[in-house]
Structure 1
């Protein structure tokens, strides 16, 4: 289950890089890619919740989950700008990416 979550988050992260590149160049990100990015993040969180509910996950999985959940909350904040047709603050984009990357790397550390 953890392997699937890491793959889903990894693919989502690639989309996130494209989205961030748009915003950092003062352009609106493609809406369809934003939705796909959000759906992949949600799917990854659901996989982690399933793993955590089973009760045999290492502590790093819980830490990674919390970080990725915080990143998801930041993603909702970023989406609110997109829906209002305003560019989000670049600092928020960078923080969202950094927290998500920390969560992803925490999960990946379980496999290493």
Structure 2
């Protein structure tokens, strides 16, 4: 999706943006559920918070720009990508990178 926006002068198709949002929301729900069921390290909690901020940026991109048929600002797209990567990396590090207690 980002390649399409950054390479050209068009936003991604509506169906692709919606599918991305639904899949991300589903994964986020499962991560939060696991956090409440088993407890998680502080780095994973930070990752969840960062992903929540990334999700808020995604909602802004969808409601403010995509549905209004305006080009998504590249700075907002870059921030959304960066937050998503950092949040996911923190959660993955907490899951696989820390030794078992």
**What's the TM-score bracket when you normalise by the shorter of the two chains?**
0.7 to 0.9
Q: Runs of 4+ in structure 1 displaced over 3 angstroms? A: none
- SS at 1:73's partner residue? helix
Q: For residues 22 and 38 of structure 1, what CA distance do their matches in structure 2 show?
A: 17
Offset at residue 55 of structure 1 (A) = 4.6
Aligned position for 1:3: none
| 1:94 lines up with 2:78 in the alignment | yes
Question: Aligned ranges for residues 1-112 of structure 1 at < 5 Å?
Answer: 19-24=1-6, 25-80=8-63, 81-110=65-94, 111-112=96-97
**Which has the larger Rg?**
2
TM-score by length of 1: 0.79
Structure 1's unaligned 5+ residue stretches are 1-18
Q: Which moved more, 1:23-32 or 1:80-89?
A: 23-32
Structure 2's unaligned 5+ residue stretches are none
Q: CA RMSD in A?
A: 1.1
TM-score by length of 2: 0.87
